[in-house]
Structure 1
Amino acid sequence: MGHWLERNIIEPGKLPLLLALAAFVVTFVVTRSVTRLIRAGRGPFGNVSAGGLHIHHVVPGVVLTVIGGFGAVATGRGGFGGAAFAIVFGVGAGLVLDEFALILHLDDVYWTEAGRQSVEVVVLTAALVGLVLAGFAPFGVNGLTHDEFQNRGTVVLTVAGNFLFSLIALGKGKARLAVLGIVVPVIALVGALRLARPGSPWARRFYRRRPRARARSSLRAYHHDRRWTGPRRVLQDWIGGKPDSEITRARGHS
């Protein structure tokens, strides 16, 4: 284990990234555990307020992210300082992305259906950082041979091609595949080749006069959502807690 850590993490200079990822995941897990206890009225925890104003944990998260980011830039990648600031950055990022939905909607949607977006972003971020940590370079340039990598034209074409696949996948309404495809190009290629989702920019532009393509797109999206929406929600509820129902929210505001 020590040899593997030295060869694959410490020697390539990935220790700060590993520490940041670990701090990010641990912070998210601890934060969600505490907020779920507060929601259930259990434990010694409570919401933080100042002068009647509820201080969301995204606020200290932003502060820690700024401190960790600028500190890491100032100290460089090596040494104790770089590792310490990487941990600070990971903690801050965990607090910020746990309330990503609040930032996106500019509303306290933490325990609503919209709040599921925070869990999705956290899982996606952890997966992307994990892939980079495992050696997957953005746009798949890690798959080139030494001679190919020396050829700048090959590198440029590889990056441009993979970027194009990611853009097409995004235009077809497949945001998750587009983002993951940045580091694993075959995923973006799959998203680029498959039918666009109904209502996506690609579908509005290219399926407008193709009723059969629109019908196939709608049918595939229906079967995909029917197959995966339920399991995905179960996983999201297990990770981040089940959102309040509309009835529960209405009672809370009455």
Structure 2
Amino acid sequence: MHHQVWGILLVLLVGLIEFRYRPESPWAEVLGALFGIGAALALDEFALWLHLEDVYWSEQGQKSIDAVLIAIVVGAALLVGVSPVGDLTAAQEQGFIFTMVFLVTHIGLCILCMLKGKPITGLIGLPVPFFAYVGAIRLAKPTSFWARRWYGPKKMARAEARFAENRSKRMVEGLRDRFSPTTRG
């Protein structure tokens, strides 16, 4: 069996034990560590989930590295405890409707970033709204769903020119390649 299966089983087992028994410290921390190990084993093979074949050492295997990087961003945001609305009690004082409109708009902009081919910007934009707003306004990557669906030839040419020499793209790809198993000797 592939280690992805053990990771999924470990995550399921830990979740079951936590929900059923709600153990006290130090067992809650032990279960948290086991959950993290299971999630890491499963995310390591994200490309296998996506393609239903072992593509770990190919170009498509890079999706596993992307999934791990996204999990790190979301996990760090949860650990820091950031919220797009700031202090929830202050948001409640401003009114329920205002808060809901803000959250729906904000989450919509994060999804728009992802549709524009910028998943990291969309995820970082969840806890830090500025990134979601900037990512939603800027041009989409030419290979993204958004660009293929909504861009005409002129705007697509602008997007291709912008992303052909994009420094941040090289930086992200360099970071991905640093952790990628395909570039190791």
TM-score with structure 1 setting the length: 0.64
Instruction: Please tell me whether the aligned partners of residues 47 and 64 of structure 2 are also in contact (alpha carbons under 8 angstroms).
Output: yes
Larger radius of gyration between Structure 1 and Structure 2: 1
The residue aligned with 2:80 is 134
The residue aligned with 1:35 is none
Question: What SS does the corresponding residue of 1:79 show, helix, strand or coil?
Answer: coil
Residue deviations 1:152-189, cap 9 Å, x none?
A: 22321221111111122122222222222222221111
Residue deviations 1:31-70, cap 9 Å, x none?
A: xxxxxxxxxxxxxxxxxxxxxxxx3211211111111122
Structure 2: how far apart are the matches of 1:199 and 1:235?
20
Structure 2: how far apart are the matches of 1:133 and 1:147?
21
Matched, 1:154 2:98: yes
The residue aligned with 1:103 is 49
In structure 1, stretches of 5+ residues that fail to align are: 1-54, 246-254
Deviation at 1:229, TM superposition (A): 4.7
Instruction: Please tell me whether the aligned partners of residues 113 and 243 of structure 1 are also in contact (alpha carbons under 8 angstroms).
Output: no
Matched, 1:239 2:179: yes
The 5 A counterparts of 1:68-87 are 68-76=14-22, 78-87=24-33
Structure 2: how far apart are the matches of 1:103 and 1:63?
15
The residue aligned with 1:185 is 129
Distance 1:172 1:123, change over 3 A: closer
Structure 2: how far apart are the matches of 1:161 and 1:238?
35
The residue aligned with 2:157 is 215
Question: What SS does the corresponding residue of 2:117 show, helix, strand or coil?
Answer: coil
In the comparison of the two structures, how many residue pairs are matched?
A: 184
Structure 2: how far apart are the matches of 1:201 and 1:110?
24
In structure 2, stretches of 5+ residues that fail to align are: none
Deviation at 1:144, TM superposition (A): 4.5
Structure 1: how far apart are the matches of 2:20 and 2:31?
10
Deviation at 1:77, TM superposition (A): 7.7
Moved more, 196-205 or 215-224: 196-205
RMSD after superposition: 2.4
Structure 2: how far apart are the matches of 1:236 and 1:222?
18
Structure 2: how far apart are the matches of 1:170 and 1:241?
25
Instruction: Please tell me whether the aligned partners of residues 172 and 200 of structure 1 are also in contact (alpha carbons under 8 angstroms).
Output: yes
Percent identity between the aligned chains?
Answer: 32
Structure 1: how far apart are the matches of 2:30 and 2:50?
29
Instruction: Please tell me whether the aligned partners of residues 115 and 144 of structure 2 are also in contact (alpha carbons under 8 angstroms).
Output: yes
Detail structure 1 runs of 4+ shifted over 6 Å in the superposition. Answer: none
Structure 1: how far apart are the matches of 2:100 and 2:16?
30
Structure 2: how far apart are the matches of 1:157 and 1:113?
40
Structure 2: how far apart are the matches of 1:155 and 1:182?
15
Residue deviations 1:176-225, cap 9 Å, x none?
A: 222222222211111100012224333234323xx43222111112122x
